[in-house]
Amino acid sequence: MKGPFKVQCWLKRFYRRGPRFQKYLKILKRTQFYTPTELQIYQDQALQKMVYHCYRNIPYYQDLFRALKLSPNDIQTGADLQKLPLLDKKTVQENYDKLISKKHHNFLCSMGTTSGSTGMPGRFIRDYDGINFEHAVVWRHWQKAGDSGKRRISLRGEIIVPAAQTHPPFWNYNSANLELQMSSYHLSRDNSVHYIDKILEFQPKILYCGPSMGHVLAKFFKYHQVDYQFDAIFTSSESLETDVRSYIESVFQCPIYDWYGQAERVVAIGENSICRRYHIQEDYSIVEFLPVAEQNCYELVGTQLCNYVMPLLRYRTCDYIYSNSQNTPATACECGSYFRSVERILGRSYGYLLTPEGYHIAITAHIPVGVDNVIEAQFYQEKIGEVTLKVLTNGRFTDVDRERLVLNTLKHTSPFMKVSVQEVDDIPRGPNGKFINIINKMESLN
Ligand SMILES: [Zn+2]
């Protein structure tokens, strides 16, 4: 490694994992076991500080508070947040400059972006504290599941090598993250042997990936009949379906610990390694469950507690969960936490298929599971009741596979759905490198 690059990596690591990170990690290791009362006090104090800052320094909130005739004293608790309107992505984009703090210092901030699949890409600024806080929350999740800094690889949709590159290496060792980052874009049938050889040589214990990428990698290990065991796999960025989880876990003979977050950084949900429940990280933000028509289904709404450059209060994530209760549990979970748990996390709201009956089908990742010779499948809809499955195959895709895919789709969507299957050479990733399971081009969904 060259000198200046080494310094750059060290600085980057220090920036993200320096004293501020350590400070937050120490606090978070305590707050994760807070009782409901302690948690309430912690959240209220952080909220009061944030609201006061918004009132003093953020033009958008200054106007809003004035219009609503509110002062910071009117918002003392999470329940008081109801006095403020919900904030959506469109409003953020329209008021972008007004949402940035007047005390903003550019040099230590970083930009997060969201996918433009709804036709509206988003930009969100995070400050030094916000970034370190975020890293500490995620690191707590990894550490609890046994990652103490083991050898690891990642397949997270980042651009690692140029798209046009046709020969290995399709990976790069990132000293700042201490991991071998592998390109998600080059993991094809032809290149899969190179990936497997590299993994066998590197001998990682941990895999970080999006579920779709981990799924593809597992398929190639099985296809080439190569046996490999990780200690743990950490997934994030996409919905993790039960069948996909079991497939990856069985191929790599280890548990998966899933994580949910978003570029806006308003809600974090982690799967605990002891109880294996999805717990809302209540010390990260204030999370509201916004009811929707379907029973026990809610949209996640979050209020940041630690990003002062561009704070989002009551931000609508457009992500949905199923939960049996909106309330903080009266007793601690077996993992020791009082954080609320959710039964299931659904994908983004644009990720729906609409059936002829008008049902919204959000979960499709399990449909191709068990159909041989399919590497990836994407559901593409332009008209109600019609769907095309774009499939990337291993070259041995048969009419029997095709028929099974159609039957599975009918079974999991609607028997009246018109289904066609189209073999493709490539399924392009969406913005941010995310695999998009469903592309819906119907006007009504945007
Ligand atoms: Zn638990």
For residue 239, the CA-to-ligand 1 centroid distance in Å is 20
Q: How many CA atoms lie within 13 A of 60 on its CB side?
A: 20
Instruction: Examine the pLDDT at 12 and tell me if it is beyond 80.
Output: no
For residue 298, the CA-to-ligand 1 centroid distance in Å is 20
Rounded to two decimals, the pTM is: 0.78
Task: Average the pLDDT over 10-31 and give the result.
Answer: 83
Over the stretch 276-307, which tens digit does the pLDDT of each residue have?
999 999 999 999 999 887 788 888 999 999 99
Closest-CA residue to 220 (of 263, 243, 251): 251
Instruction: Examine the pLDDT at 223 and tell me if it is beyond 60.
Output: yes
Bridge-based pairing state of the strands 232-235 and 206-209: parallel
**What is the pLDDT at residue 296?**
86
For residue 316, the CA-to-ligand 1 centroid distance in Å is 25
What is the DSSP secondary-structure string of 378-415?
A: EEEESSTTEEEEEEEE-S---HHHHHHHHHHHHHHS-T
For residue 208, the CA-to-ligand 1 centroid distance in Å is 22
CA angle 173, 163, 109 (to 5 degrees): 60
**What is the pLDDT at residue 251?**
97
CB 155 within 8 A of CB 213: yes
Over the stretch 148-197, which tens digit does the pLDDT of each residue have?
889 999 998 777 888 678 899 999 998 877 799 998 777 777 889 999 99
Over the stretch 90-123, which tens digit does the pLDDT of each residue have?
788 789 889 999 887 655 666 665 543 333 445 7
**What is the pLDDT at residue 445?**
39
Instruction: Examine the pLDDT at 222 and tell me if it is beyond 60.
Output: yes
Label residue 207 by pLDDT band (50, 70, 90). Answer: very high
For residue 296, the CA-to-ligand 1 centroid distance in Å is 20
Residues 6+ apart with CB under 8 A from 364: 353, 379, 409, 412, 413, 437, 438
Looking at residue 233, what DSSP letter applies? E
Over the stretch 362-420, which tens digit does the pLDDT of each residue have?
667 668 877 878 878 899 999 888 999 999 888 889 999 999 999 989 888 788 899 99
- The residue with greater pLDDT, 296 or 422, is 422
Task: Count Cβ atoms within 10 A of the Cβ of residue 174 and give its class: 0-12 exposed, 13-18 middle, 19 or more buried.
Answer: middle
For residue 141, the CA-to-ligand 1 centroid distance in Å is 12
**What is the pLDDT at residue 224?**
93
Phi and psi, residue 299, nearest 5°:
-90, 140
Label residue 76 by pLDDT band (50, 70, 90). Answer: very high
**What is the pLDDT at residue 114?**
52
CB 127 within 8 A of CB 402: no
Task: Average the pLDDT over 306-328 and give the result.
Answer: 90
**What is the pLDDT at residue 8?**
61
Task: Average the pLDDT over 67-73 and give the result.
Answer: 97
Looking at residue 63, what DSSP letter applies? H
What is the total residue count of the chain?
A: 446
Tokens of 352: 């729906």
**What is the pLDDT at residue 120?**
40
For the chain, the distance separating the N- and C-terminal CA atoms, rounded to the nearest angstrom, is 47
**What is the pLDDT at residue 285?**
98
Instruction: Examine the pLDDT at 357 and tell me if it is beyond 80.
Output: no
Taking the C-alpha atoms of residue 110 and residue 131, their distance in angstroms, rounded to an integer, is: 8
For residue 31, the CA-to-ligand 1 centroid distance in Å is 14
Bridge-based pairing state of the strands 297-304 and 285-291: antiparallel
Instruction: Examine the pLDDT at 79 and tell me if it is beyond 60.
Output: yes
User: Domains (ranges, CATH) in the chain?
Assistant: 353-445 (3.30.300.30)
